């Protein structure tokens, strides 16, 4: 039902943590998501004008890129974005049919395709652009947090993770229970100051983003010319060689 499930303390909140310090923007998570899900719970992830102008399609995960800072100090940031499985998801409460719902057991936000009338209101209500209308099926689709992987008994335990997580070459994506303060993901978020997107809207996203880090400046004194030795000055052209005349090597 559309009403949000009552949140008990310690409620399980499955979600993703994305490390912007590591993402190189390879789009692996985006295409792996497309690949898994086009045959998955919300199949198909339809594509339109696939081989012509204005090609577009249903994607649950997209890689944006931004620049942060100015001039030579600017840093390119690759920014993957999928559904954040918010705790206050207006996409759910605005839904007139109850097709859009949030699971009480793990907080995953889903669309029940068989109820959806394709009014698109949920996509208007999502500030993050995580709702994907399938114009062919006439229904709304979205990231399922790979609900058909994470509990899948036909997969080896280590594979019971979202497709976008297992493929990531830089291991910049983490999946886990953000409701449990002691989970690996929660600790990571705490340690790295994980961020909410558009906190001002109060949707309270479950997914968190770890901001890029600035390398600690290493304080190494600049190299001093080698101490002038008896035979030769260190830093005056030819004679500099003299400091090596007694240097012996052994093979």
Partner 1 sequence: MHPALSIVFFTTASGAGFGLLLLIGLGVPLGLLPPDPLFGFTALLFAFVLSAGGLASSALHLGRPERAWRAFSQWRSSWLSREGVLSVATFFPAAVFAIGWLLFGATSGIVGLCGILAAILAAGTVYCTGMIYASLKPIHQWHNRWVVPNYLALALMSGLLLLDLVLNLWVFWPVSAEILTLLAILVAWCLKEAYWRFIDTTSAPSSVASATGLGARGRVRMLEPPHTEENFLLKEMGFRIARKHRVRLRLIARIVGFLAPGFLSLIAVIASPGLGTIAAALAVISAGLGVVIERWLFFAEAKHRVTLYYGAEVV
Partner 2 sequence: MSFLQRWHQYWTPRETIDTSPKVSDEVKYTTCYMCACRCGIKVHLKDGGIRFIEGNPNHPVNRGVICGKGASGIMQQQSPAKLRKPLMRVGERGAGEFREIEWEEAIETALRWLAPIRETDPKKLAFFTGRDQSQSLTGFWATQFGTPNFAAHGGFCSVNMAAAGLYTLGGSFWEFGEPDWERTNLFLMFGVAEDHDSNPIKTALSGLKKRGAKFISINPVRTGYSAIADEWIGIRPGTDGLFVLSLVHELLRADKVDFAYLGRYTNAAWLVIQAPGEADHGLFARNDAGEPLVLDAQGGLTSALKTDVDVRVVGEAKLADGRRAVPVFQLLAERYLDPVYAPDAVAATCGITAERIRGIAAEIASVAFDQEIEIAQPWTDWAGRPHATMRGRPVSIHAMRGISAHSNGFQTCRALHLLQILIGTIDVPGGWRYKSPYPKPAPPGPKPAGKPGQVTPGKPLGGAPLGFVMGPEDLILEADGTPVRIDKAFSWEAPIAAHGLMQLLIRNAWKGDPYKIDTLFMYMANMAWNSSMNTAETLRMLTDKDPETGEYKIPRIIYSDAYYSETVAYSDLILPDTTYLERWDCISLLDRPIGGTDGPADSIRQPILTPDRDVRPFQDVLIELGARLGLPAFVNADGGPRFPAGYKDYIAMHERAPGIGPLAGFRGEDGNLAGKGAPNPQQLERYVASGCFWKHQLPPEQLYYKHANKAYLETATAMGMIGAPEPIIMQLYLEPLQKFRLAAQGHGAIVPPEKDRARIATHFDPLPFWYPPFEEARIDPSAFPLHAITQRPMQMYHSWHSQNAWLRQILGQNRLFMNRVTARGLGLADDDWVWVSSHASRIEAQIKLMDGVNPDTVWTWNAIGKRSGAWNLAADSPEFQRGFLLNHLITEILPDKDGETEPGPNADPVTGQAAWYDLRVRIEKVRPAEAGHTEPRFATLHALPSGKPGPDILRYGARFQEDRQQPERVR
And the tokens for 187?
Answer: 């600790």
Does residue number 231 form part of the binding site for partner 1 (CB under 8 A)?
no
- Of residues 215 through 234, those in contact with partner 2 by CB under 8 A are 215, 218, 220-226, 234
* 189 close to 70: Cβ distance less than 8 angstroms: no
Q: Which is nearer to partner 1, 46 or 170 (CB)?
A: 46
Instruction: State yes or no: residue 228 binds partner 1 (CB under 8 A).
Output: no
**Binding string, residues 73-112; x marks residues near partner 1 by CB under 8 A:** xxxxx-x-x--------x--xxxxxxx-------------
Could you say which DSSP state residue 5 is in? P
Q: How many other C-beta atoms can be found within 10 angstroms of the C-beta atom of residue 190?
A: 11
Interacting span for ligand SF4 (CB under 6 A) from 5-13, 158-166, 185-193, 208-216: 158-166
Q: How far apart are CA 47 and CA 203, in angstroms?
A: 30
What span, in angstroms and rounded, lies between the C-alpha atoms of 122 and 129? 10
Backbone φ and ψ for 144, nearest 5 degrees, come out as -105, 10
Total residues in contact with partner 1, by rule CB under 8 A: 70
The answer to whether 117 and 124 are in contact (CB under 8 A) is no
Window of 4-12, 136-144, 152-160, 225-233 that interacts with ligand SF4 by CB under 6 A: 136-144
When asked if residue 99 is in the footprint of ligand SF4 (CB under 6 A), the reply is: yes
Say whether residue 191 binds partner 2 (CB under 8 A).
no
**Stretches 159-167, 177-185, 212-220, 241-249: which one binds ligand SF4 (CB under 6 A)?**
159-167
Tokens, residue 13: 């909140």
Minimum CB–partner distance for residue 203 and partner 1 (Å): 8
Site for partner 1 in 190-209 (CB under 8 A): 195-203, 209
Which residue, 200 or 247, is less far from partner 2 as judged by CB?
247
Task: Please name which of 36, 16, 65 lies closest in space to residue 171, comparing C-alpha atoms.
Answer: 16
Instruction: Report if residue 176 touches ligand SF4, rule: CB under 6 A.
Output: no
Verify cis geometry, omega within 30 degrees of 0, for the bond prior to 5. no
Contacts of 175 (CB under 8 A, 6+ apart): 14, 15, 16, 17, 150, 161, 162, 165, 185
Residues that bind partner 1 (CB under 8 A): 1-3, 20, 30, 53-59, 62-70, 73-77, 79, 81, 90, 93-99, 115-121, 123-129, 132-133, 135, 137-140, 195-203, 209, 211-212, 214
């Amino acid at each position: 039902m559309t009403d949000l499930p009552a949140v008990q303390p310690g409620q399980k909140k499955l979600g993703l943590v994305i490390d912007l310090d590591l993402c190189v923007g390879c789009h692996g998570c985006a295409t792996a998501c497309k690949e898994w899900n086009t045959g998955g719970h919300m199949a198909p992830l339809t594509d339109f004008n696939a081989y012509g102008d204005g090609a577009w399609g249903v994607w649950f995960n997209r890689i944006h890129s931004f620049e942060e800072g100015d001039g030579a100090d600017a840093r390119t940031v690759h920014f993957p974005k999928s559904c954040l499985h918010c705790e206050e998801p207006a996409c759910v409460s605005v839904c007139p049919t109850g097709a859009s719902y949030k699971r009480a057991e793990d907080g995953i936000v889903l669309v029940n395709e068989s109820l959806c009338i394709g009014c698109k209101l949920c996509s208007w209500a999502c500030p993050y652009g995580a709702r994907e209308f399938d114009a062919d099926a006439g229904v709304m689709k979205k990231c399922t947090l790979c609900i058909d992987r994470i509990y899948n008994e036909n997969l080896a335990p280590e594979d019971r993770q979202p497709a976008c997580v297992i493929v990531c070459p830089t291991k910049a994506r983490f999946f886990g229970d953000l409701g449990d303060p002691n989970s690996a993901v929660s600790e990571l978020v705490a340690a790295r100051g994980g961020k909410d997107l558009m906190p001002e809207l109060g949707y309270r996203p479950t997914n968190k983003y770890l901001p890029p880090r600035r390398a600690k400046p290493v304080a190494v004194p600049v190299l001093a010319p080698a101490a002038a030795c008896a035979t030769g000055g260190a830093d005056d052209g030819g004679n500099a060689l003299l400091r090596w005349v007694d240097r012996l090597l052994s093979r």
